[in-house]
Structure 1
Amino acid sequence: MDRLRAYEVFTTVVAKNGFARAADALDTSPANVTRYVAELEAHLGARLLNRTSRRLSLTEAGAALYERLRHVLDDVAEAEAAASADSRAPRGRLRINAPLSFGVRHLAPLWPRFMVACPDVELDISLSDRVVDLVDEGYDLAIRISRGGSQSHVARKLALSHNIVCAAPSYVAAHGAPASPDDLMNHACVAYTLSPEPEEWPFLDAHGQAYGAPIRPRFSSNNGDTVRAMALSGHAMAWLPTFLAGEDLRAGRLVRVMPDYPLPPIAILAVYPSRRHLSAKVRAMVDFLADAFNGTPDWERDTEA
């Protein structure tokens, strides 16, 4: 038995949730897929998959093996890709999804530079704050903004953005500034509805642990620029990332409130389905973005975040 091939077949069956779909992905027959899994189970002396006509699920042994193999096979594929990368030129259509506000402000200026560096790559950029399914919706790469990273895909951190509570000077002049997160319920706030807890703002305690402080939303939106616009209007305070508010802070259009109460930072991630068989065009884009955001991003400068 070719154990490396058997491991690849087993992980593909799990990832694709089926023998027939795994066979399509591996360009082989369902019978071969079944044979490899059966031989692997016989070799290990353990059942890895529970199979019925309608459902496929991992056994305890199968789940443990899958978690280990997924990382091992990704490392093997990444090593192979790195060894052969010099012989492959990036080309073809590259579909990328990115958040709307971040995409317009910080990614759009970079695309012309990438097109000059990789003239054989055709870019197809989709901007949406919805979390897309990379595989089902046919994306090669996504840019995501996350406090927790990506659990289901490979992610490379491109940059960091801090979060702040801020308000227009006119709001502070009229209503004062909260002394602590406990005071937020006495102030008009803007809720970002795509956050995990829209009516709570996360802060970090003295031990670096996150806790939620309730707010009183006067206005809600699922778009960061709309949240920023409401803060600039002076009608309410907002919880904003520095990649949206940094320029306004430097210009004095917004002021930071409660600077002694930090909020968890967020990571700007390049996310792709797997390191295995990573195409030259995806690798080129990830490396390009990592280089573009290397160092301290413009949005972090002089924000005292």
Structure 2
Amino acid sequence: MDKISAMKVYVKVVESTNFTRAAEVLHTSAVYVTRMVQALESDLGVKLLNRTTRRSKPTDAGLRYYERCVALLRDLDEMDADAQASKGSKSGMVRVSMPSLVAKSTVIPELPKFFASNPDIRLDISIADHHPDLIEEGLDCALRVGTVSEPGLVAKTVGHYKTLTYASPEYIRAYGEPFTLDDLGDHIGVSYALKSGRIRSWEFLEGNEVRSVPLKSAILVNDADTYVACGLAGLGLIQGSTFILDAHVRSGRLSKVLRDYPLNPRPVSVVYMPNRTKPRRVDIFIDWLVDLYSTHRAD
């Protein structure tokens, strides 16, 4: 038995929840998949799966073994990719973290073009609205929105997001539209809690000065998607990137308000560890991000 091949088959069975679907993914027969899993269980002397006619669910031991298999196979892929990178290969895996809204609105819609130009590069995208530790998470790089304050990281600015204030038609019908910062005393906003626990303040550019305005709120959230959903539901004013939220403006679900009081454009940066030779594939992906954001500059 080729144990690595057996591990790959077992991982697909767990992820597909049955042998037939795993066989389809692996472009092989269900008989082969069954034999490989049975051989693995025999070699280990442990039952890995509880089987029914429709579903295969890992046992407690099987779940632990699955998690270790995933980690081992990922390490093997990385070893192969690093070996290829040593000769300047443009193939292999790039592990990157980015906020959910950035991924959904900016990066993922453009990825077909990236893969068309770089068919041998694969991406492992980790969605995180906080700032994960690159070393602990095994990341090659990460996209950050806002000022990068962590010491020991190289930050390369790839673009900027213009930030405005938005309200849904339902909100405007209920509260009216604010036109000046003094109007905000009669309005409510959706509050956003940062990972530090601090509530993000409501800031506006008034002339050349940043002005912070207290705003009443009926709801506090700590997730970017939920924050936008609250704004769409009319639960309060929200602030966000024009590139991310203007799609909702075009669909009629949001309107821009307080246009004369924008926020400072927020930088978008790629961060990575210094003094570390990056594989060519990582440089290719970072250069692509620079080109992508060059077409979405703040007005």
TM-score by length of structure 2 reads 0.63
The count of aligned residue pairs is 213
1:283/1:116 CA distance change after superposition, 3 Å:
same
User: Which residue number corresponds to residue 121 of structure 2?
Assistant: 121
Q: Deviations over 1:210-251 (max 9, x none)?
A: 332111121122222222222222232112221321112233
User: What RMSD, in angstroms, separates the aligned Cα atoms of the two structures?
Assistant: 2.6
User: Which residue number corresponds to residue 252 of structure 1?
Assistant: 252
Tell me if structure 2 keeps the 8 A contact 1:150–1:271: no
Q: Distance in 1 between matches of 2:175 and 2:122?
A: 51
Tell me if structure 1 keeps the 8 A contact 2:106–2:244: no
| One-letter identity of the residue aligned with 2:249 | L
User: Which residue number corresponds to residue 162 of structure 2?
Assistant: 162
Q: Distance in 2 between matches of 1:129 and 1:285?
A: 20
Structure 1 residue 118, shift from structure 2 partner: 2.9
TM-score by length of structure 1 reads 0.62
Does residue 290 of structure 2 align to residue 290 of structure 1? yes
Q: Deviations over 1:225-279 (max 9, x none)?
A: 2222222222321122213211122333211221111212112221111265232
Q: Distance in 2 between matches of 1:217 and 1:127?
A: 27
Tell me if structure 2 keeps the 8 A contact 1:101–1:223: no
User: Which residue number corresponds to residue 188 of structure 1?
Assistant: 188
User: Which residue number corresponds to residue 204 of structure 1?
Assistant: 205
Extract unaligned runs of 5+ from structure 2.
1-84
1:284/1:257 CA distance change after superposition, 3 Å:
same
Correspondences of 1:40-119 after superposition (within 5 Å):
88-119=88-119
User: Which residue number corresponds to residue 223 of structure 2?
Assistant: 223
Q: Distance in 2 between matches of 1:201 and 1:283?
A: 37
1:102/1:255 CA distance change after superposition, 3 Å:
same
Q: Distance in 1 between matches of 2:195 and 2:259?
A: 21
User: Which residue number corresponds to residue 58 of structure 1?
Assistant: none
| One-letter identity of the residue aligned with 1:156 | K
Q: Distance in 2 between matches of 1:220 and 1:202?
A: 17
Q: Distance in 2 between matches of 1:100 and 1:199?
A: 18
Q: Distance in 1 between matches of 2:138 and 2:175?
A: 49
User: Which residue number corresponds to residue 269 of structure 1?
Assistant: 269
1:275/1:111 CA distance change after superposition, 3 Å:
farther
Structure 1 residue 155, shift from structure 2 partner: 1.9
Tell me if structure 2 keeps the 8 A contact 1:270–1:286: yes
Q: Distance in 2 between matches of 1:119 and 1:262?
A: 40
Tell me if structure 2 keeps the 8 A contact 1:167–1:256: yes
| One-letter identity of the residue aligned with 1:285 | F
1:133/1:186 CA distance change after superposition, 3 Å:
same
Structure 1 residue 120, shift from structure 2 partner: 3.2
1:120/1:170 CA distance change after superposition, 3 Å:
closer
1:295/1:112 CA distance change after superposition, 3 Å:
closer
| One-letter identity of the residue aligned with 2:172 | V
